[in-house]
Amino acid sequence: MRLDKYLAETAQCTRSEAKAMLSKGRVQVNGAVCKKGDTQLKESDTVAVDGRALSYQQFVYIMLNKPEGVVSASTDKRDTTVVDLVGDAYPRRQLFPAGRLDKTSTGFVLLTDDGTFAHDILAPKRHVSKTYTVVLDTPLTEQMRTGFAAGVTLADGTALSPAEVTALSAD
């Protein structure tokens, strides 16, 4: 990878800002000042800016506890999204939620920029199990368990996969 690209990704700056750091002698490669943005880095090279070591991370994975009222989306014109909650912490990353929770739901959402990994954990044929805790306004019946075990069809015709339902407590 070129040094200027590496700097832009690891120092969270633009390529022109990276070139400015290089021209001012603020960048060291393997302990020596380097001013050439087109320098090709090897995996074993160490890079530092102003003496602070940088570390390249190909993908980002963030475990987020989604609060109620936030939508599981990258962008939304009306509501706050799970990506909005991360703010500017990863400005050069195209983060998206790998999975969904309803706006009124709370719980774990994975944010990433690794599309292959997200596909692998979400693809129905991969059978990655998920656990949800739900509060019901009526007691869980055997008929409900049987219905979920067979797979529920929503009012809009969407067929959901079979699910195992277990009562955590009897209120």
**Tens-place pLDDT, residues 108-163:** 999 999 999 999 998 878 878 888 888 888 988 999 999 999 988 888 988 888 88
8 A C-beta contact, residue 131 and residue 137: no
pTM for the full predicted model: 0.71
> Helix, strand, coil: what percent of the chain each, to 5?
25, 20, 60
Contacting residues for 166 by C-beta, under 8 A, at least 6 apart: none
Q: How far is CA 51 from the centre of its chain?
A: 30
Q: Which of 76, 79, 84, 102 is flagged as catalytic?
A: 102
Is 102 tagged catalytic?
A: yes
Q: Which pLDDT score is estimated for 23?
A: 96
Bridge partners, 153 (sequence order): 159
Give DSSP secondary structure letters for 9-63: HHTT--HHHHHHHHHTT-EEETTEE---TTPBPPTT--EEETTEE----S--EEE
Overall average pLDDT of the 56-70 stretch: 94
Instruction: Report how many helices (DSSP H) and strands (DSSP E) the chain contains, helices first.
Output: 5, 7
In the structure, what pLDDT confidence band is assigned to residue 170 with cuts at 50, 70 and 90? low
